[in-house]
Amino acid sequence: MNARSGDTGLVGGDAVGRRRLQRRVADFLRDTEGADRTAALGAQFDAGLAWVHHPEGAGGLGLAPDRQAEVDARLAAAGRLESWERNPMGIGMVAPALMAHGTPAQHELLRPIFTAEDLWCQLFSEPGAGSDIAGLATRAVRDGDEWVVDGQKTWTSLAHTARYGLALTRTDPDAPKHAGLTAFLIDMHAPGVDVRPLRDLTGGAHFNEVFLDGVRVGDNARIGGVGEGWKVATTMLMSERSVIGASVGERGSGAIALAVDTWRRTGSDPGRRTELTRLWVDAEVLRIAAVRDQATRAEGGPGPGGSGLKLRRALLERRIARFAVDLLGPAGLVYDADLVRAGGPAPDDPVWTWLQSQAYTIAGGTSDVMRTIIGERVLGLPKEPGPPRDTPWSQIPR
Ligand SMILES: Cc1cc2nc3c(=O)[nH]c(=O)nc-3n(C[C@H](O)[C@H](O)[C@H](O)COP(=O)(O)OP(=O)(O)OC[C@H]3O[C@@H](n4cnc5c(N)ncnc54)[C@H](O)[C@@H]3O)c2cc1C
Residue 344 and residue 337 in contact, taking contact as beta carbons nearer than 8 Å:
no
Is 207's C-beta closer than 6 angstroms to any atom of ligand 1?
yes
Ligand 1 midpoint to CA 363 (Å): 6
237-378 CATH fold: Butyryl-CoA Dehydrogenase, subunit A; domain 3 (1.20.140)
Domain ranges of the chain: 3-82, 120-232, 237-378
Q: Compute φ and ψ for 154, nearest 5 degrees.
A: -145, 165
What is the CATH code for 120-232?
2.40.110.10
**Alpha helices, H only, 169-228:** none
pLDDT tens, N- to C-terminus, the chain (398 residues): 333 434 456 666 677 788 999 999 999 999 999 999 999 999 999 999 999 999 999 999 999 888 888 999 999 999 999 988 899 999 999 999 999 999 999 999 999 999 999 999 999 999 999 999 999 999 999 999 999 999 999 999 999 999 999 999 999 999 999 999 999 999 999 999 999 999 999 988 999 999 999 999 999 999 999 999 999 999 998 887 767 656 667 888 889 999 999 999 999 999 999 999 999 999 999 999 888 877 666 554 566 778 888 899 999 999 999 999 999 999 998 888 888 888 766 667 899 999 999 999 999 899 999 999 999 988 999 998 888 889 999 999 88
Three state DSSP letters for 117-163: CCCEEEECCECCECCCHHHCCCEEEEECCEEEEEEEEEEEECCCCCC
Return the residue whose CA atom lies nearest to atom 50 of ligand 1. 363
pTM of the model: 0.91
Return the residue whose CA atom lies nearest to atom 12 of ligand 1. 125
Active site residue 284: no
